[in-house]
Amino acid sequence: MKRIKSLLAVILCVAMIAMGSVAVFADTEASFDPGKYTYNVMINGKYVEFTDAAPENINGRIMVPFRAILEALGASVDWDQVTKTVKAVFGDITIDFVVGKSDINIDNNGTKSVKSMDVVPFINAANDRTYVSTRFVAESFGYKVGWDKENKTVIIIDINRLVNIDDNDFTIMNQCIKDTGLQAGTAYEETLKGTLAITILKTAIQEMAEGAEIADDIKMGVSMDGAAVVKDSEMSMDLKMGMDMGDLLSGSDPVTAAVAEMFKNIDVKCYMDAQSGDMYFKTSIDTLISQEATSDSWFKMNVYDIMKALGMDLKALVQKALPGNTLSVKDVVVMMAAANEESFTINTYSQLNSSIELIKEMLSDSAVKVEKNGNRTTYTINLSNISSLQGLGGKVVSVCENGNNSSVITLKGDVPGMGNLQMDMTTTTKKTSRSVEKVPAGAKIIDITNLLDTIK
């Protein structure tokens, strides 16, 4: 059990080091004690105080006094005592609903719609306050809503307000995105080569997993060498990768040691359709995944479903980035922030805010150097100048020429209290006459969705 805890702690440390910063925690201080309520509501990182009536859980929905929540959301509120109608205005959006009825009417700058609430607004006889569903009123005003189960808190975030990015500050990067974009109906060959070397301090691992058996700092390495063909929403790829766990699994039983050795050299072949999210793959370690695997077996899973189970709904972002579409920096940030909705916690607002500040510092026009030489354009970001990376340095260099692109990424340095890393990655993209390789007809398909249920 301690070895498992050690491994999980190492994985978390790797993620934190690779992100280039330690975890950011929210400023959850409040002018009142949130502990006085069984359930809480947090808007844009701040707790909402309900002075005369506490939130209640009705059939799985957190219900709150309508005036308190609507005004906390920034709306002006009217109450018609005769008709029992609540009307609220927030910017260009007006909503109204009648107590005791399920419909909530929404007028968004002249575009009208009606939603049906699964828990109707009601008057609580115990305190004579009118309660409404937190989620429905917040979503009606365009907010994103999540649920922090551990802290019994509804998390409401105004993504558009949070992502205070002006695309005029990112004209260079937006042009780079446009230059490196793929054209619809054209096939491209993409290559990827990279290495990642990480040293994790034993003190960091022990802090992550109390009682972990770690004698010394852990050194790990990952290598990747792949080539893919992409056309529209389809992609096929051949990838060679290796994972060297260093001393982490030393002294393990023979089976575990053998598995660790197998992970040093892994061959992967896959096909994916980004429209559906379905991915098919086969590897040199198929039998570790399922004993049913044979030489003609392909595993199937849905990438969007898996990411959603992990708290990230990336479907809209990936599909928006398909060949023929154009994204801006702000588009990407807004969609990435919204994609976290199902994993919102009381720390999410602060974490997202810190990430956005890093993006603004790293990708704004002042951070990107442009050099032109005929049809060749080179974009360079010096990571050593980014203070938010806390001492990590390196460069990102992207070259665009006649529709072909290449990028070189280096990242190295120390993360205080965690360890250090060295990452080197090179990618290329060029037009090709090759075709996407689909799953062979007659292949044995093994759906591993059930094997992945443990992450949900």
> What are the residue ranges spanned by the domains of the chain?
39-151, 167-455
Residue 34's alpha-carbon distances to 41, 108, 157, 347, in angstroms, are: 9, 33, 18, 15
Q: What is the pLDDT of residue 7?
A: 46
- Tell me the CB-side half-sphere exposure of residue 302, using CA atoms within 13 A: 13
Residue appearing with tokens 């040093």: 264
**E strands, 117-163, in order:** 122-124, 129-133, 144-148, 153-157
What amino acid is encoded at 16 in this protein? Answer: M
Q: What is the pLDDT of residue 399?
A: 94
Picking from 437, 443, 436, the residue whose alpha carbon sits closest to that of residue 299 is 443
The answer to whether the beta carbons of residues 193 and 388 sit under 8 Å apart is: no
| 3-state SS string for 189-246 | EEEEEEEEEEEECHHHHHHHCCCCCCCCCEEEEEEEEEEEEEECCEEEEEEEEEEECC
Residue appearing with tokens 């660790």: 260
- 157, 159, 165, 168 alpha-carbon torsion, rounded to 10°: -160
CB atoms within 10 A of CB 419: 23
The helix/strand count (H/E) of the chain reads as 12, 25
Quick: pLDDT tens for 225-240: 999 999 999 999 999 9
* Separation of alpha carbons 453 and 62, rounded Å: 27
Residue appearing with tokens 């990015």: 165
Torsion sign across C-alpha atoms 194, 327, 181, 283: positive
| Segments of the chain scoring below 50 in pLDDT | 1-8, 20-26, 454-456
Angle value at C-alpha 317, between 45 and 232, nearest 5 degrees: 175
* Separation of alpha carbons 248 and 383, rounded Å: 30
323 — phi, psi (to 5°)? -50, 140
Q: What is the pLDDT of residue 145?
A: 95
Domain over 39-151 is classified CATH 3.30.457.10: yes
What is the pTM (predicted TM-score) of this model? 0.79
* Separation of alpha carbons 7 and 250, rounded Å: 12
Q: What is the pLDDT of residue 321?
A: 86
- 6, 245, 223, 435 alpha-carbon torsion, rounded to 10°: -80
> At 289, which helix (H) or strand (E)?
helix 286-289
Q: List helix spans (H) across 40-194.
A: 66-72, 134-140, 159-162, 171-180
The answer to whether the beta carbons of residues 246 and 269 sit under 8 Å apart is: no
347 — phi, psi (to 5°)? -95, -10
- Tell me the CB-side half-sphere exposure of residue 150, using CA atoms within 13 A: 5
> Which residues share a beta bridge with 301?
279
> Which residues share a beta bridge with 15?
none
